Amino acid sequence: MKNNELETKNELQDESLFNGSLGRRSFLQYAGASAAALALVAAGCRKDRNFGDISGGATLDFKDDFGVLNYAYALEQLEAAFYIQVASNPPSAFSATQKAYFQDVQFHEIAHRELFKKALGTAAIGSLEVNFSAINFSDAASVLATAKTFEDLGVSAYNGAGVRLKDAKYLVLAGQIVSVEARHAAYVRDQISNGSFADLGSLSAFGAVDANGLDASLTPDKVLPLAAPFIKTKINVINL
């Protein structure tokens, strides 16, 4: 058991955002995160392909499923970076329950990030550099507001990207992840205002539930500009 854990830990250690050790708990979360789906994706994505950088940035090529998966990978990198920073030093005003929640969610987002990274292999974009200068990590309201933005945006992004996926197994994987992101979104909204688990009746920039009870669906050309203020790395988009 110890040898297996050591091997897995070595595999997960990389030059990722914040260069933090995942630790045993997060490893267990990652190891249990849709292993069957990972095997399917890895089987389809292990190809001699590398998107590389353009002008020092990361390129999202939407001509096929690889581009959509890298798009999701970029968003998961952003979320993982945010939750890692919050969990490592939560606002003092957070309750014990809130601190535990952000600890757990960082493991979910790390698992999602590593799932895409491993599945994409050589086709994966590099690690993104984030820009969190507008976030006051010592202020509970600022942290919750940012978490709401990221979660609502993530749900809308997955909903909008699904139609671009040609392989059904990738669509299933995206559905499994967006349902987790929606749980996060509902919880965060409830912390800000009890019972406000979604925007009802009108669409907002980051997503809402419409009159038919459906969450918003935002296309990549709408999502990326909303995420851009939080990302230093230049994102190049082609074949969108």
Model confidence over 88-134: pLDDT tens digits? 999 999 999 999 999 999 999 999 999 999 989 999 999 999 999 99
Residue with tokens 């606002």: 91
Backbone angles phi, psi at 124, to 5 degrees: -70, 145
Using CA atoms, how far apart are residues 108 and 30, in angstroms rounded to an integer? Answer: 7
- pTM for this one? 0.78
Q: Which pLDDT score, from 0 to 100, does residue 206 have?
A: 60
Choice among 17-21, 39-43, 165-169 with the minimum mean pLDDT: 17-21
Q: Which pLDDT score, from 0 to 100, does residue 216 have?
A: 82
The domains of the chain, with CATH numbers, are 2-238 (1.20.1260.10)
Choice among 46-50, 62-66, 125-129 with the minimum mean pLDDT: 46-50
What's the length of the chain? Answer: 240
Residue 180, pLDDT above cutoff 90 = yes
Q: Are 121 and 46 in contact (CB under 8 A)?
A: yes
Q: Are 58 and 233 in contact (CB under 8 A)?
A: yes
Residue 22, pLDDT above cutoff 60 = no
Q: Which pLDDT score, from 0 to 100, does residue 196 have?
A: 78
Using CA atoms, how far apart are residues 62 and 123, in angstroms rounded to an integer? Answer: 13
Q: How confident is the model at residue 36 (pLDDT cuts 50, 70, 90)?
A: very low
Using CA atoms, how far apart are residues 70 and 61, in angstroms rounded to an integer? Answer: 8
Residue 199, pLDDT above cutoff 50 = yes
Using CA atoms, how far apart are residues 114 and 55, in angstroms rounded to an integer? Answer: 25
Percent of the chain with pLDDT over 90: 63
